[in-house]
A and B are shown apart, each in its own frame.
Chain A
Amino acid sequence: MSRSKSAYWIWMGLLGVAILAGLVAAFQLFTKGHYLFNANDVLMWSLPLGVYIYLALTSTGLTLLASLPLVFGIQKYEPLAKRLVFLAIATLVGAFVSIGLELGNVWHMFYIMLSPNLSSPIWWMGFIYSVELVVLAVKFWRLHVGDWHSPLGKVLGHASFLAAIVAPLMIGSVFGLTESRVTYFGPVMSIYCLMMAILSGAALCLFYNLVLARIGGSGLSESIYAIQDDMARIFTWAMGLVIVFTLVKVAIESATVIPDFLNYHKYAQIFGGIGNLNTEVILGLLLPFVLMAIPSIRSTDAGRMLASGLVLVGTLAMHMEILLAGQSRPIGPKAEQYPDYIQYFPSIYEWLVMLLAVAVALLLYTLGERYLKLEAAPEH
C-alpha cells in the first residue's frame, strides 16, 4: 500500500472511532437523559448548542461565499463553487447532529411542521436551515450533473443565498429577543451572527484549501491559487468587521451601569483575558488580524493557515463565551437552589457530541473529495 493510501485508511479509522464513540454517547443520552451533560436549570444550553451555532453559522458563511460565483456571477470563483456548496452541506449536517443530541426529545421534531409557531425564532431557525439543507443538496446535484446556468440552478442559488442571509439573523434573534436577558444585546446579536458566519466560513474555506493542497502533495491548483488571495482578503475584512463590532460591544459593556451588564461582565471572561478583552478575542481575532496585516506573513501559506486556524478555534470560543456568560446566574427563585454563579466545564458526553458532529462533517468532506469531483467548474 502506498503511503498516501495508508494515511487515508488511518484517517478513516480515526473518524470511524470518533463516530462510534459519539454514537455510544448518543445512545446513552437517549436512554438515560441529558443529566449526562454538565448543564442544569440555570445554565441549560451548553457546549453542544455552542457547537451547533458555530457549525450552522460556518455553513452559512460557506454558502454566502459560494454565492459569489453562483448568484453574483463572478466567474473567477467558479472553481471553488461546487466544493463550497458541498462543504456547506456537510458542515450543516454536523450542526444538525449537534443540536439533535442537545434536544430533550428529538422524536417530537415533526411537530415543528405539524404545529408551527410563527412567532418563534427557534421555529424560523429550524425551518430555514432545513430548507437550506434541501436547497443546497439539490443545488449540489445540479452542479454535479454539470448544470451551472439553467434557470432552475439560478433559482436554487438565489434561494440558498437568501436563506443564508436570514438564517444567522434568526440564530441571533433566538438570543436577541430574550428580553429578560439584556446582555444578549437585542437586534445587534443578529448582525453579529451574520458577521461571525462570514468570518468562520471564510476561515474554513482558506484553511481547507491549504490543508487539501498539503494532503494532495501537489500544492494548490492554479485556478484555486489565484482565488486564495481574494479569499485571504475577504477573510481579513471579515475579521475587521467582527473586531469593530467586538470593540463596540466591549465599550458598551465597560461604560454601562445597568446591573445585568455589571454582573455579566463579572463573569464574562471564562477563558480569562487582559483588561476587558477576552483571551479568545485576543488570540482568535486580534492576533490573526495582525498576522494578516503583515504582508510577509499574509502572502505565505503557513501564515494564512495559522491565522485561519486561530480564527476557527477562536470563533467557537467566542460563541461559547457569549452563550455561557448570559446564563451563568440563576434567575428569580432558582437562586434558592443554585449558587450565585454557575461554574461550567463540559462533561465527557458533551465533548463526545462535539466530536461526533465534527467527525461526521469531516467524514463527509473526505468522501466528497474522493468521489464527487469537487473542483469541477463550467467550461466557458
Chain B
Amino acid sequence: MPRYAMVIDLQRCVGCGSCSISCRSENNVPEGIYWSNKITETSGTFPNVRYHYIPTLCNHCDNAPCVRGCPTQAMHKLENGITMHDPDKCIGCKYCEFNCPYGVIYFNWRKPHPFWRQQDALIEGGTSSPAEEAKKAGGKVIPYYNPERAETLPGIRPKGVVEKCTFCDHRVKKGLLPRCVEACPADARIFGDISNPNSQVSKLLGKFRPFRLREQLGTDPHVFYIRDFNPAHYQPTKGGV
C-alpha cells in the first residue's frame, strides 16, 4: 500500500493561487471554507521588508490529532495515509477543528453555497435567480458542480459537519493526481508515494533539506516544503560594528 505525501517547492511556487481555485471547483468547496489555503508572513521592518508565502492544505499527519480526538471515528486514516472524513458519522462537535494544529478544518455553519440557493432574481422578470441559473447549468446547487467529488464523499457536505482537504482521494483512487497538483502552472507541487524510495517525492526529500509545519508537535505531517522563493542577491559582507 502506498503512503501518499506531497512536496511543495517554495522556489517554484509563484503564489498564483491556482491550487486554491482548482481545489474549490474540484471539491465544490463553499464560500468561507478553504481546503487549500496559504500562510503569508512578513519579515523585516520597513524599508527592509519582504513577505513569504506558504501554501497550506491538510498535512495528512501520521499522528493526526484530529483523528485521535474524534469521538465517532468520523475523522479517520485510510491505509494510504490520507486523513479522511465521513460526514455520516460526524456529530459536528468540532473537536477535530479545535485539535488540528494547522487550521485546515472548517465547519459548515449553514447550508453550503447560500448564494446559489437564492430564489430571488436581482431584477424581477429581467434576470434569473441564482438557483435558476445553477439549475440551467445542470449543476447541483452550484452551476460549476463537480459530480466526481460525490464518488467518495457527499458532493456538497451538509450543514452541521466539518470538512477539509482529502488529497483528492477520489482522483488518487483512479490513478489521477490531486487537482491542485495538476493545476499548478509552476510544477511546485509534487505528489507521490513516500514509501517508495524511487518516487519523485522520495528523491526530492533526499536532495533538499525539507521542513514541515510545527514539526515539534510530533504530528508527523506528510506535506513537506523544500527550498525558498528568494531570487535576491546581496554583496558579500562581514557586517560591521
B contact face: mostly helix, strand, loop, or mixed: loop
Instruction: Assess whether A332 is in contact with B56, with CB atoms less than 8 Å apart.
Output: yes
With an 8 A cutoff between CB atoms, is B241 at the interface? Answer: no
Pair B91/A178 contact, Cβ less than 8 Å? no
Known contacts: A126-B71, A333-B56. The answer to whether A108 contacts B91 by CB under 8 A is: yes
Question: What distance in Å separates the Cβ of B200 from its nearest Cβ neighbour in chain A?
Answer: 25
- A223 interfacial contact with B, CB 8 Å: no
A123 in the interface (beta carbon within 8 A): yes
The answer to whether A335 touches B100, judged by C-beta atoms less than 8 angstroms apart, is: no
Which of A32, A104, A123 contacts B94 (CB under 8 A)?
Answer: A104
Q: How far is the CB of A346 from chain B (nearest CB, A)?
A: 15
- Give the A interface residue count (CB, 8 A): 44
Chain B residue contacts of A332, Cβ below 8 A: 39, 56, 101-104, 213
- Proximity string of chain B (61-82) to chain A, C-beta cutoff 8 Å, 1 when within and 0 when not: 0000100111111100000000
What would 18 A/B residue contacts be, using CB atoms closer than 8 Å? A33-B159, A41-B32, A45-B94, A103-B92, A104-B91, A104-B94, A105-B161, A112-B72, A115-B74, A117-B72, A120-B71, A178-B69, A180-B65, A180-B100, A180-B214, A180-B217, A327-B98, A331-B102
**Known A336-B40, A337-B34: A115·B92 in contact at CB below 8 Å:** no
Q: Report Cα–Cα, A111/B97, bound state, in Å.
A: 19
Q: Is A188 at the interface (CB under 8 A from chain B)?
A: no
Q: Which residues of A contact B211 (CB under 8 A)?
A: none
B89 at the interface (CB under 8 A from A): yes
Instruction: State whether the Cβ of A44 lies closer than 8 Å to any Cβ in chain B.
Output: yes
A119 within 8 A of B: yes
B22 located at the interface, meaning its Cβ lies under 8 Å from any Cβ of chain A in the complex:
no
Question: With an 8 A cutoff between CB atoms, is A144 at the interface?
Answer: no
Encoded as 1 (CB less than 8 Å from any B CB) or 0, chain A from 119 to 138 comes to 11111001000000000000
Q: Please choose the segment from B106-114, B125-133, B140-148, B170-178 that sits at the chain A interface, where 4 or more of its residues have CB less than 8 A away.
A: B106-114
Q: Are A45 and B98 in contact (CB under 8 A)?
A: yes
**B side interface size, CB within 8 A:** 47
Inter-chain contact B94/A33, CB cutoff 8 Å? no
Given contacts A34-B160, A331-B101, contact A179 B217 (CB under 8 A): yes
| A35 at the B interface (CB under 8 A) | yes
The answer, yes or no, to whether B93 is at the interface (CB within 8 Å) is yes
Contacts of A178 in B (CB 8 A): 65, 69, 98-99
Chain A residues with Cβ under 8 A from B72's Cβ? Answer: 108, 111-112, 114-117, 123
**Contact: A336 with B91, CB < 8 Å?**
no
Q: Point out the residues of chain B lying under 8 angstroms from A117, CB to CB.
A: 68, 70-73
> Beyond A35-B110, A104-B160, A105-B161, is A331–B68 a contact (Cβ under 8 Å)?
no
Nearest-CB distance from A204 to chain B (Å)? 26
- Chain A residue at smallest Cβ distance from B95: A122
Number of residue pairs A-B, CB distance < 8 angstroms: 146
Contact A121 B111 (CB under 8 A): no
Query: Does any Cβ of A come within 8 Å of B50's Cβ?
Result: no
Contact A44 B69 (CB under 8 A): no
The answer to whether B69 touches A121, judged by C-beta atoms less than 8 angstroms apart, is yes
Say whether B38 contacts A120, CB under 8 Å: no
A114 to B214, CA, bound (A): 34
Cβ of B26 to closest chain A Cβ, rounded Å: 18
* Contact yes or no, A111 B37, CB < 8 A: no
A40, B109: Cβ atoms closer than 8 Å: yes
Verify if B228 is at the interface (C-beta below 8 Å from A): no
Complex-state Cα separation, A327 to B103, whole angstroms: 12
Would you call A106 and B91 a contact (CB within 8 A)?
yes
Taking the complex as formed, is B88 at the interface, i.e. its CB lies under 8 A from any CB of chain A? yes
Chain B neighbourhood of A40, CB < 8 A: 109
The reply on B90 being an interface residue by CB < 8 A is yes
A236 to B141: give the CA distance in the assembly, Å.
59
Given contacts A44-B98, A104-B90, A327-B98, contact A336 B37 (CB under 8 A): yes
| B109:A33 contact, CB within 8 angstroms | yes
Q: Given A122-B95, A331-B102, do A177 and B39 touch, yes or no (CB 8 Å)?
A: no
| CA gap between A213 and B168 in the complex, in Å | 65
Is the pair B39, A105 in contact by a Cβ cutoff of 8 Å? Answer: no
Determine if A186 is an interface residue (Cβ-Cβ < 8 Å): no
A373: interface (CB < 8 Å): no
**Interface assignment of A109: CB less than 8 Å from any CB of chain B:** yes
Shortest CB distance A228–B (Å)? 39
Complex formed: what's the CA distance from A174 to B93 in Å?
12
Chain A residue nearest in CB terms to B112: A33
B69 contacts A122, C-beta separation under 8 Å: yes
Residue A330 at the chain B interface, CB threshold 8 Å? yes
Known A-B contacts A115-B73, A332-B213; the reply to A122 vs B93 at CB < 8 A is yes
Residue A334 at the B interface, CB < 8 A?
A: yes
Q: Which residue of B lies closest to A177 (CB)?
A: B69
A120/B68 contact (C-beta < 8 A), A333-B37, A336-B39 known: yes
